[in-house]
Amino acid sequence: MTTYSGTEEFAGARFIKANFTGATFRFSDVSGVRMRAVDVNGLDIDSHDLFFGTLYVNGVDVVPLVEAELNRQFPGRELQNAQTLDGLREGWLAVQSAWETTVAGAPPDAVHAHVDGEWSLAQTLRHLILATDTWLRGAILRVPQPFHEIGQIFTGAEDMGFDMSIFRADPPEFSQIRSVRAERQQMVTDFLATATPELLSQEREAPWAGDDWRPTVGDCIRVILEEEWAHLRYIRRDLALLASATADST
């Protein structure tokens, strides 16, 4: 299998009667791609940023349809964009309840399992620790060094010049991950319990250098909610695939 990485050679290219059966695109820019008279049976698209743009299938923008279906599958997810304090509190309770159910129901042998190179459940919880550290402890509370050592940084952070020495190299025990995760969850709960509408409207600096966006405190909480729901979807998807593979092998 040929791998093309870090290339610009396909930008603006035309593919006529080309065979992409079974091809995989990861961390690739396919914005503006036009497909005509194509066979898309089994085509599987997963985009974290889908809801910030459009995706047309046979002339229909399917993004609102996908958004509505995900909100149906994940009750409370629609509150990730809540503009009121009560809405954010309710949204946080909903996603934490969903996570509690998911983690409790995960088989022990699936905690560190990977599907198609995606993060395991353990790594995902570590990343959510990092997300809370980034947007609550860092952006909102302005803690100078907000990160816990077991946080899971996103792919490409080292290339951006991020100090990776903050994080430990050896993987922590799952019990420690759950303990730190619970602490971070409680931090968000406690913050929302005492926050005011005036505080939510205050501006903060974006956590990652080079971003000219000036998020409000409320925006930072909404990013945390978005991270929580997005990664919950990934993990439920992967746990279902692992369960299916186990069933097929028995």
Give the pLDDT confidence of 202-228 residue by residue, as tens digits. Answer: 999 998 766 688 999 999 999 999 999
pLDDT in tens, 11-40: 888 888 888 888 888 878 888 888 888 888
Distance from C-alpha of 77 to C-alpha of 98, rounded to nearest angstrom = 10
pLDDT at 209: 60
Instruction: Name the nearest CA neighbour of 227 among 109, 105, 106, 139.
Output: 139
pLDDT in tens, 106-126: 999 999 999 998 999 999 999
Asked whether the beta carbons of 190 and 221 are under 8 A apart, the reply is: no
User: 77, exposed or middle or buried, with CB in 10 Å at 0-12, 13-18, 19+?
Assistant: buried
So what's the pLDDT on residue 210? 63
Confidence check: pLDDT of 1 > 80: no
Determine contact, residues 8/28, Cβ cutoff 8 Å: no
Interval 151-191: pLDDT, tens: 998 877 777 777 888 999 899 999 999 999 999 999 999 99
Residue 193: what pLDDT?
98
- Token duo for residue 208: 């990652």
Question: Which residue, among 184, 182, 224, 186, has the nearest Cα to 204 in the 3D structure?
Answer: 224
The kind and range of the H/E element at 57 are: strand 56-57
The whole-angstrom separation of Cα 119 and Cα 130 is 14
Task: Judge whether residue 48 has pLDDT over 90.
Answer: no
d(CA 197, CA 129): 25
Please tell me the predicted confidence (pLDDT) of residue 66: 94
pTM, entire model: 0.90
